[in-house]
């Protein structure tokens, strides 16, 4: 297929490589052009404007948030103005339900197709074509996009024709991942303070009661103190998902979100400007205080997204 791909961050670059390995013609665009140039050696064609990435049958976007996608789609040289009739915009980033609905409406008015296809998986999974895709949109558009989904991951859930349903699934999954990070961090901090080897604890729990990839992956990262393998920047998490959840449930915001994210102490500014990995750290793994010779304690901070 002739595919444009816009947004070459940690996830987008990996997706581009997977598409290229599968034999697709991929035209890439990124605001920081050096990221696009880095893929030229893999066979990508580098576009100089977003419009240049919209000449093919499909343009796939993997952008940080609603604001970035709105600028790209609705700008004068954006996707809406550049995509030809009957071509498809596939949005794979984490966006709000409201924006997904707006995109579906505006693309339909322009005679274009819109498919919401957010993904689950870390950057290494994107590059290894092991993402989990949740897709929704018109059945004919989904069928045309199937080669793309096959190229980036082995698991596809088609949730319906209403595009924003896929975004609801993505936000639900992100909320659960945040809960896993919080609970794992507190449990490991408690066990360590009590003298239990964290690796032994995590190995036992993830091979019995919590035998799931998310517990194994993040449990391993926590035990190893591996805070540098960043998949999602902390400022994005702080800003994005709480707002998206609240927008999706405006009349009755999720009380569970408030219990986890609306806690008594926010992460300090110097931490909030770092990464998701720092979020794990402040949730109880390595925070040392006076009178705690082991160097481990229950976290003084809670995960907050606001």
Residues taking part in catalysis: 170
d(CA 76, CA 54): 13
CA distance 301 to 268: 9
Report how far residue 235's alpha carbon sits from residue 243's, in angstroms, rounded to the nearest whole number.
13
Q: Are strands 25-29 and 45-46 parallel, antiparallel or unpaired?
A: parallel
Other C-beta atoms within 10 Å of 259: how many?
11
d(CA 232, CA 122): 8
- As a whole number of Å, the end-to-end CA separation of the chain is 40
Judge whether 303 and 296 are in contact, CB under 8 Å: no
In whole angstroms, what is the distance from residue 92 CA to residue 12 CA?
9
Residue among 248, 91, 245 at smallest CA distance from 179: 245
């Amino acid at each position: 297929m002739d595919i444009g791909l816009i947004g070459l961050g940690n996830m987008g670059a990996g997706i581009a490589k997977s598409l290229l390995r599968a034999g697709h013609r991929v035209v890439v665009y990124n605001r920081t052009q050096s990221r696009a140039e880095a893929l030229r050696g893999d066979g990508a064609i580098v576009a100089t404007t977003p419009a240049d990435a919209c000449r093919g049958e499909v343009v796939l976007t993997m952008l940080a948030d609603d604001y970035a996608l709105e600028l790209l789609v609705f700008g004068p040289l954006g996707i809406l103005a550049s995509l030809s009739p009957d071509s498809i915009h596939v949005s794979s980033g984490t966006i709000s339900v409201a924006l997904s609905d707006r995109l579906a409406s505006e693309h339909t008015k322009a005679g274009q197709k819109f498919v919401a296809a957010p993904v689950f998986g870390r950057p290494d999974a994107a590059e290894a074509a092991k993402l989990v895709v949740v897709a929704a949109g018109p059945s004919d558009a989904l069928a045309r996009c199937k080669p793309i989904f096959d190229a980036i991951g082995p698991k596809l859930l088609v949730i319906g024709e209403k595009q924003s349903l896929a975004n609801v699934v993505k936000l639900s999954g992100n909320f659960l991942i945040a809960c896993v990070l919080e609970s794992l961090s507190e449990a490991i901090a408690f066990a360590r303070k009590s003298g239990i080897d964290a690796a032994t604890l995590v190995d036992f729990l993830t091979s019995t009661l919590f035998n799931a990839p998310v517990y194994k992956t993040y449990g391993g990262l926590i035990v190893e103190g591996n805070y540098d393998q960043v998949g999602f920047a902390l400022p994005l998490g702080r800003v994005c998902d709480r707002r998206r959840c609240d927008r999706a449930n405006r009349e009755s915001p999720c009380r569970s979100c408030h219990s986890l994210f609306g806690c008594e102490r926010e992460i300090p500014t110097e931490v909030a400007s770092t990464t998701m990995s720092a979020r794990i750290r402040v949730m109880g793994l390595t925070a040392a205080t006076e009178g705690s010779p082991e160097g481990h304690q229950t976290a003084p901070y809670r995960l907050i997204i606001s």
